[in-house]
Amino acid sequence: MKDFPPVLHPYHSAPHQVSWQSPSNIALVKYWGKYDPQLPANPSVSLTLDQCRTITKVRCEPRPTDAHGTFSFEFLLGGTPKPDFHPKIEGFFQRILAYLPFLTQVHLRIESENTFPHSSGIASSASAMSALALCLLHIARGDEAVSDPSFFQQASYLARLGSGSACRSIWGPVVVWGVTPSIPEASQEFGWSSDRIHPVFADYQDTILLIDQGQKSVSSTVGHQLMVGHPFAEARFKQAHKHLEQMMEVLAQGDLDRFVDLVEREALTLHALMMASNPSFVLMKPATLAVIEKIRAYRKATQHPVCFTLDAGANVHVLYPKSISKTVLQWIQDELVVYCEKESYICDSVGRGSSPING
């Protein structure tokens, strides 16, 4: 980023505390494949969610600069210390140290909580890394900077260095990440929030069916790596640019038939890429397929524009307009919840992005 020099002005010399909430997001055109430093092999676009969020509080205390440049921090999730998260956080700090040099001059107490169950298999890296990036930048730049639009762009830049998809969680309802000829404003380095969005998407519904709440069998880091030398990589990256261009038209026009078609083909392409990788992964479970078939049959029978998308796992995101939410939710409860592990599902909708929490 041309206008993102290291934030050199001193952090507050007294102990300082900030808190942010940041949501998860669900990609419509998927980011799958990356290269250093955390740049996407193809552009992606997502809907920002509302209910699935991470709330993070960071307390910053000055300490003498460490000659070895080490970091000093503690991390708690839901009130419990989680040392197993330290390597991931430390890797993030390493990548953003050039922008936030104060990180080796402070002790940080990071307290996070998710509004969704941690074991649910819902990716939390987007909400977690964006919330943490916002807190750190807030500490570095001070309260006044929060009203500056560059603040959010820089936060998105930093969040990307924690987890690629996290750069899309800063704003809502629709965020693009990655350069593509049809969107001159889009960047490889941070998200860009489009305002050419049809009102039908402003409160679109996402009911997340928790088919498998276990640990993901392929981490996203390993997953992205599978695209290096993948036999279909070139064709996929080309297709993603085309899909993004088409998706932006669909999102602007509110064309729900084309939306359904594109969203489902993107989800299945992601899984097809994993199935054709070396090593290969089948991340759908029998219940995932059963739900997909049910959704397609229901759509055919009712003409309701209900569709599915998938992340790199077995859970199914059921997407539909708010205007039919009562009918669709009833159908989900009657017909689909039986496929969920412990009958668990999360009702979410499109949201507006991250915000500071005062006090």
CA distance 274 to 120: 21
Interaction between residue 224 and ligand DP6 (CB under 6 A): yes
Per CB under 6 A, which region of 49-57, 184-192, 219-227, 261-269 contacts ligand DP6? 219-227
Interaction between residue 243 and ligand DP6 (CB under 6 A): no
97 contacts 2 by C-beta, under 8 angstroms: no
Show the 3-state SS of 2-15: CCCCCCCCCCCCCC
206 contacts 49 by C-beta, under 8 angstroms: yes
Interaction between residue 138 and ligand DP6 (CB under 6 A): no
H/E stretch holding 48 reads strand 44-62
Per CB under 6 A, which region of 161-169, 204-212, 227-235, 322-330 contacts ligand DP6? 161-169
3-state secondary structure of 160: helix
* Both structure tokens of 340: 């969920």
Per CB under 6 A, which region of 137-145, 158-166, 240-248, 283-291 contacts ligand DP6? 158-166
CA distance 146 to 137: 9
Comparing CB distances to ligand DP6, the nearer of 141 and 224 is 224
Interacting residue with ligand DP6 among 11, 30, 315, 316 (CB under 6 A) = 30
Per CB under 6 A, which region of 27-35, 57-65, 232-240, 258-266 contacts ligand DP6? 27-35
The burial class, CB within 10 Å (0-12 / 13-18 / 19+), for 17 is middle
Which parts of 261-320 interact with ligand DP6 (CB under 6 A)?
270, 311-312
305 contacts 263 by C-beta, under 8 angstroms: no
Interaction between residue 165 and ligand DP6 (CB under 6 A): yes
Interaction between residue 220 and ligand DP6 (CB under 6 A): yes
Interface with ligand DP6 (CB under 6 A): 27, 30-32, 34, 38, 44, 123, 125, 163-165, 220-221, 224, 270, 311-312
